[in-house]
Structure 1
Amino acid sequence: MLHRRTALHLVPLLSALALAACKPETSQHAVAEPGEALSGGATTVKQSDRNAYSMPSANLTPSRRLDFAVGNSFFRNPWVIAPTTTTARDGLGPLFNTNACQNCHIKDGRGHPPEINDVNAVSMLVRLSIPAGSADVETIKRLGVVPEPVYGGQFQDSAIPGVAPEGKVRFEYDAVPVTFKDGTVVELRKPKLRISDLGYGPMHKDTMFSARIAPPMIGLGLLESISEADILANAELQAKGGDGVHGRPNRVWDDATQQTVLGRFGWKAGQPNVAQQNAHAFSGDMGLTSDLLPSDDCTKAQTDCLNAIDGGKPEVSQHIFNQVAFYARNLAVPARRKVDDPQVLTGKGLFFDTGCASCHTPKFTTGPNAAEPELANQLIRPYSDLLLHDMGEGLADNRPEFLASGRDWRTAPLWGIGLTETVNGHTQFLHDGRARNLLEAVLWHGGEAEAAKQRVLNFDAGQRDALLAFLNSL
C-alpha cells in the first residue's frame, strides 16, 4: 500500500529473478513498454487536470455515457432528511458521516484526515469493533468483526435533528524521524486518534479503532474484473519466492449470494465487489437503506435513531443503486505521463529492483465475464496484487477484519497516484492520511516491506528523485 490505501513493494512480474537483482537500473526497464501509458487499457482517459478521476471509461458508447451521468448525479448531489417532496433522494441518517458520496471521495479522489478546525471528519471515518468471543462465530463469519455494542461498527459524527451524533473525531501527531544513509532526515508523523463528546455513553473498554480516509474511485470496475485465479496465482508465487513477501487473500461474506468469497475492496479487502462496497457506504456513511442492506445502521442503545422517520423501504431504490454501481465501475483511470522520460525510467528500474513490485503487481488482464462489457479483456496496470500483507507494527491498527490481522493491509493500487495533488489539492497518503507525500508513505512501510524500505534508505538524492518521478508518472 503506498498507502497500503499507497505501498511501495510490487511484483516483478512472473519471475523470481526480477526480485533478486538489486542494481541501480536493469535493461529490462530502460525503455517504456508498448502501451504502458494506458493504465486502464481501452478504458483509459487522457485527462490530467482536476477532473482526471471523474471521467467515464473511454470506450463507453454515447448511450452508456448517459447512464454514467445519471449515476454521477446520485453520487454527487446531497441526500436529504425524510419526509420531503424529494422522494428519490430522501432518507438521510438518522446517523451519518456525510450527506453525499462526493463529500468523502472528493472529485472521485482521495480523502484526508480532519484538519485542526474541522467540525466533522467528513472524508475520514473510524471503524469500531471489540474482541470476538466464542459466541461470535456467526457474527465474524458475516461481518468480519464484532461491532462495538453501543456505537456499532462505524463511528458516525453527524445526525439529523432530534438524534444525537455519536461524538467528535480529532487527530494529533507525534514526530518519528527517519534517516537516510546519506544523512538526510525525514520527519514522519504518527497519528493519535482522539474521540470525544460521546453521545451515548462510554464505549466497551476493549474497543478497537481504525481510522481510514476515503480512497480514490478510479478503476474499481477493472479491479472487480480481475479473475480470482490470477489473484491467487500471485499469492502462490510470492509464497515460493523466499524473500519474506507472502500476500494472502482475504475471505469475506457476500451479502447477495450468502457465502464466503474473495475480498478485494477496502483497506483490508473486506468487501467482495463494487455493489456491496456501495451498499455498505450508503448504510454506514449516509444512513441509507438498500435492498442489500435493508435496515438502518442503529444499535439497540440508539432509540431515537431506531424511531426516526425513514425515506422509504428501501431508501435507495434498486434503479438508483444500479446507476451508482455503473458509475463507480466506469470511473476511468487516467493515462500515465512521461513514460519515456529518462528519470522516470530510472525510477522504474529502482522500483522493481528494490522489490516494490513484489506486492504492487504491475499488470493484469481482466476476465471475459466482467460486470460491464467495456471492462472485459483489458490489459491493465494497477500496481496492486489485491492481497493482504503484514505491514509491520508502525502501520498496524491492531484491528482484525475477517482473515486480515491488525497488521495486515491490502496493497493499494498506485495507478493515478501522481495526480492526487492536482485533483484533491493535497498529498496525504496511507490508510489514515498520515503520510504528507509519497516519500513519507514509502518510509512507513515495514513488515514484509521492510527489506524494500531499507534498500530505499540507501538511496542518494538522485535515486530518491528518480523513484518519486516514476511514482508521480503513474
Structure 2
Amino acid sequence: MNKGKKRILIGTLLAYAAVMGVIGCQPDGEPGITWLETNEEFGGGATTVSDVSVNAFGNAAPNLTGDKDLLFVTGNSFFNRNWVTAPSSTEDLDGLGPMFIARSCSSCHFKDGRGAPPAADEAPVALLFRLSVPGQAEDGGPQPEPTYGSQLSTHAILGTTAEGSVQIQYEEITGQYADGTSYHLRKPRYTFTELGFGPMDPAVQVSPRVAQHMIGLGLLEAIDEVTLTSLADPDDRNGDGISGRINRVWDVEKGQESIGRYGWKANQPSVRQQVAAAFVGDIGITSSVFPTEECADAELGCQGIDAGEPELKESILNKVVLYSSSLAVPKRRNWDDPTVLKGKQLFVEANCSSCHVPKLTTGTHPDFPEFSNETIRPFTDLLLHDMGEGLADGRPDFLATGSEWRTPPLWGIGLIETVNGHTNFLHDGRARNLEEAILWHGGEAEAAKKAFLNMSGEDRRSLVTFLTSL
C-alpha cells in the first residue's frame, strides 16, 4: 500500500473509531483503536435478551410496558396458528386461500427465523416468487403478471386450482482466493411447472425471495427519516463507490409515498403493511389494509370465495403487528474475543460497514415509546444498493432497480443455524454459508469482496467469526 492510501485508510479508521466510541489507549498510553466498544453486545439496546437457544428469536422485548406482554403472547398464538378454509366453526381463523403459499406465518418464519430453499423433493414454502411484467402499477409498484398476479401461489383450497410449481436446479461456480485456496458457489435456475392457467407472459420478471428472520422490526421502524437521508448518497458524492438510495413506496392506509424499510427491496413502509401484505399474498387472508384477493380473470374459482369482508379481524391484525414489532434482539456472543475483534477490524477495513452500518440511534416511535431513542446495532442502513449482475433479479420494485437490494440487517445471523438448522443466506438462499454470501457480493460491494478475496485464510476466518458473533 502506498503512503497516500495508507494515510487515507488510517484517517478513515480513526473517524470510524471516533463515531463508534472505540478510541482507547494502547499499553504505552497513546490513543488508538481498541475495537472493543462499551455495551456493543446489546444489539437491540434495552430490547436485548440473553437467550441464545433455539428460541432466541421468539422473545418479547423486555422493556415492553402496560399490557403489551399479554398482547404479545396472543399475537404469537395467531402468528403460529394454521388458517382453515371458510366456512368453519372457528370463524376468527378461517378464510384460507383460495390460493396460498402457506397456512400460517410461522410456516415461512419458523421460530421467527429465516427460511431456506426447499430440498429437491419439497415444494417451496419459505421461498416465494414475485412476478411482474415491464411497467408500473397505479401505485408506482411493479405491474403484476397478467395471469398469475404479483406472486406465484403453489397451493389452493378444494375446488380451486393452484397456480403452479417450481423446480430448482443449481449451477456450480468455482474460483480461487489470492492465496490459491479454491471456493465453490451455486447459482440457482428456476423452472415453473404445472402452471394451472396457461403460460406466463413471455416478458415475465421473476424475483425469488426467502423469508427473513424477524427480530428488531419495531426498532427499524423507529429510525427516523433524517437519519436514513443522511446515510443515503445516491450520487456517490464522497467518491467511495457506495451510493445507497432510499426506496419510496406507496403507503396504502396513508394514501401517500413513504420510505420503504422492509422486504428484500425495501418495498414496504411499515410493519403493519408488511404483515397485512403477507396475510393476503402468502395465506390468502384479506384485511382492512388489503381488503381484496388478487385474482386474475383466468383464475376460475378464485373470485368470490371469502370468509367476510375483510377476513382478518382488525383486533387480530393489531395483535400480530404488535407481536412482529416487539421481537427482541438476542445478545451477542464472544464480542470481546480477540479473534472476533480482529474480524471486526477487517470488516471495517474492507468497508463492509459502509452499507452494513454498525450503530444507529432510533428516533421517536409513535406506537412503541419503548423503541424510541435507543442505541442499536443492526448492521444495516435500510438503503438500496446495486449488488451487481450476479445477484440481479431483473425485477424493479418501486424505485429499486433489477440489481438493487436493501442492505439486510446482520443482527442475529450467527444464531440462524441454532434456530433454523441451516446457514443459507442472501435473498434466495443460494449461499450455503456466510463465506459464500460474501463472495456473491458485486456492484457497489465489489471492492469489499475483492478485499476478502485477498485476505489470508486466517483473516477470512476471523471476519466470518466476527459475523457469527452478531
Q: Same fold (TM over 0.5)?
A: yes
8 Å Cα contact 1:337/1:473 also seen in 2: yes
The correspondence for 1:107, drawn from 97, 106, 111, is 111
1:349 aligns with 2:345: yes
Give the counterpart letter for 2:100 in structure 1: F
8 Å Cα contact 2:88-2:94 kept in structure 1: yes
State the identity as a percent. Answer: 51
Moved more, 295-304 or 275-284: 295-304
Match of 1:167 in 2: 164
1:112, 1:428 within 8 Å by CA — same for their partners in 2?
Answer: yes
Match of 1:294 in 2: 291
Select 2:325's aligned residue among 329, 335, 338: 329
Give the TM-score, by structure 2 length: 0.93
What is the aligned residue count? 450
**Given the alignment of the two structures, is residue 454 of structure 1 paired with residue 450 of structure 2, yes or no?**
yes
* Higher RCO, Cα 8 Å, sep 6+: 1
Q: 1:18 to 1:181 in 2, by over 3 A?
A: farther
Separation (CA, whole Å) in 1 of partners of 2:33 and 2:13: 16
Task: Give the structure-1-normalised TM-score.
Answer: 0.92
Q: Report the CA distance between 1:143 and its aligned residue.
A: 5.1
> How far apart are 1:240 and its partner, in Å?
2.8
Structure of larger gyration radius: 2
Which residue of the partner structure matches residue 388 of structure 2? 392
Matched with 1:9 is none
Counterpart of 1:205 in 2: which secondary structure?
Answer: coil
From 78, 81, 84, give the equivalent of 1:77: 81
Q: 2:231 maps to what in 1?
A: 234
Q: Distance in 2 between matches of 1:438 and 1:262?
A: 29
TM-superposed deviation, 1:19: 7.7
Deviations 1:389-442 (A, max 9, x none): 000000000111111110000000000000000000000000000000000000
Structure 2 residue runs of 5 or longer lacking an equivalent are: 1-8, 25-31
Q: Which runs of 5+ in 1 are unaligned?
A: 1-11
CA shift digits 1:162-209 (9 cap, x unpaired): 000001012110011121001111100000011100001111110010
* DSSP-derived class of the 1:154 partner: coil
* Alpha-carbon offset, residue 376 of structure 1: 1.0
Determine whether 1:224 maps to 2:224: no
- RMSD across aligned positions (CA): 1.9
Q: Distance in 2 between matches of 1:370 and 1:396?
A: 36
1:176 aligns with 2:180: no
Partner of 2:270: 273
CA apart distance, 1:227? 0.3
Moved over 3 A (4+): 14-20, 25-29
| Counterpart residue identity of residue 91, structure 1 | G
Match of 2:243 among 217, 242, 246: 246
Moved more, 416-425 or 63-72: 63-72
Shift of 1:369: 3.2
Q: Is the 8 A contact 2:35 2:344 kept in 1?
A: no
CA–CA distance in 2 between the matches of 1:269 and 1:128?
A: 16
- Which secondary structure does the structure 2 equivalent of 1:382 belong to? coil
- In the other structure, the counterpart of 2:128 is 125
* Residue aligning to 1:50: 54
Residue type at the aligned position of 1:460: S
> 1:276-315 deviations in whole A, cap 9, x for unaligned?
001110010000000010001211211201132x111111
Indicate if the aligned counterparts of 2:224 and 2:364 stay in contact, CA closer than 8 A.
no
CA contact (8 A) 1:18 1:353 kept: no
Decide which of 30, 44, 50 is 1:40's aligned counterpart.
44
**Structure 2 counterpart of 1:4:** none
Contact 1:93 1:286 in 2 (8 A): yes
